[in-house]
Amino acid sequence: MTTRRNLLLGVTLVAAAPKKTAHKEEDVSPGEDLMREHGLLNRVLLIYEECVRQKNTRTIGAAAAIIRDFIEGYHEKLEEEFLFPRLEKADKLADLTATLRKQHARGRDITAQLIAGGGDVPQLVAKFIRMYRPHEAREDTILFPAFHELVGDKEYERLGDKFEDREHQLFGEKGFEGKVDEVAQIERQLGIYDLAQFTP
Ligand SMILES: [Fe+2]
Ligand SMILES: [Fe+2]
């Protein structure tokens, strides 16, 4: 029975369908998004340690390129553009954001040196890891919760969509998952992919 009502219903369903299927839209909050990215950063830090252990400087360059493109070119830009200014404007955690900004800049220097293959690689890697472990831990436990509290749920959610859009704009359809695959590939090359090997 093709009543006008059914036709209209059909049109509505068809119109609504692509929204759901065109782009698998999971609702990831900005905090979860940024923390996943810290997880990726941590995996690269493990790669750095293993490269130094194996004296494999070539692979360090490949891992450093992931840091440059994804962590420095995307993740830290989000923090610098959306999180730090909002907190600074509200006069919140100013000392912390100043230090975090400075550390991003120092991190970029070190990454550039690692990619260029210059300098004392084990020492550069040690400095990078020493700085980034407390850096990201402070963001996870202090900065991100303070930011969420400051902006409220609605703006927080809106920002999540914005982050997601930029992620796909910069890194294509696969976005974050594509970077995780790249990291896993390097882990396999180094023989540190199999997680079970780390169980004591
Ligand atoms: Fe940061
Ligand atoms: Fe971060």
DSSP string over 179-194: HHHHHHHHHHHHT---
| Cα-based angle 48, 49, 50 (whole degrees, multiple of 5) | 90
Residue 18 lies in a domain: no
CA of 100 to the centre of ligand 1 (A): 6
Asked whether residue 81 is assigned to any structural domain, the reply reads yes
Gap from CA of 38 to ligand 2 centroid (Å): 6
Closest alpha carbon to 38 in 59, 63, 81, 67: 67
Position 44 in a domain: yes
Q: What is the pLDDT along the chain (200 residues), one digit of tens a residue?
A: 444 444 444 444 444 444 433 444 567 899 999 999 999 999 999 999 999 999 998 899 999 999 999 999 999 999 999 999 999 999 999 999 999 999 999 999 999 999 998 899 999 999 999 999 999 999 999 999 999 999 999 999 999 999 999 999 999 999 999 999 999 999 999 999 999 999 99
Distance 139 CA to ligand 2 centre (A): 6
Look up the domain containing 60 and give its range: 28-193
Ligand 1 centre distance from Cα of residue 69 (Å): 14
Residue 76: phi and psi, rounded to 5, are -70, -30
Among all bound ligands, the one having the nearest atom to the CA of 102 is 1
Distance CA 186, CA 62 (A): 8
> Is residue 14, in this structure, part of any structural domain at all?
no
Residue 17 inside a domain? The answer is no
What is the model's pLDDT at position 60? 96
* Ligand nearest, relative to CA of residue 37: 2
> Could you tell me the distance, in angstroms and rounded to a whole number, from the CA of residue 34 to the centre of ligand 1?
9
Residue 23 resides in a domain:
no
pLDDT of 118: 83
Residue 144 CA: which ligand is closest?
A: 2
Q: pLDDT tens digit string along 168-196? A: 999 999 999 999 999 999 999 999 999 99
Alpha-carbon gap, residue 40 to 140, rounded angstroms: 14
CB 49 within 8 A of CB 125: yes
Decide if 12 is inside a domain.
no
* Full DSSP string of 22-43: SS------HHHHHHHHHHHHHH
Number of structural domains, the chain?
1
Residue 130 belongs to some domain of the structure: yes
Ligand 2 is an ion; its neighbours by CB within 5 Å are 139
Ligand nearest to the CA of 30: 2
Q: pTM for the full model?
A: 0.86
Are 133 and 144 in contact by the 8 Å Cβ rule? The answer is no
pLDDT given at position 25:
54
What pLDDT was estimated at residue 19?
A: 42
Query: Other CB atoms closer than 10 Å to residue 65's CB: what's the count?
Result: 14
**Alpha-carbon span 97 to 18, nearest angstrom:** 41
Residues 104/72, Cβ–Cβ less than 8 Å: yes
Ligand 2 midpoint to CA 76 (Å): 6
CB 59 within 8 A of CB 189: yes
CA 15 to ligand 2 center in whole angstroms: 38
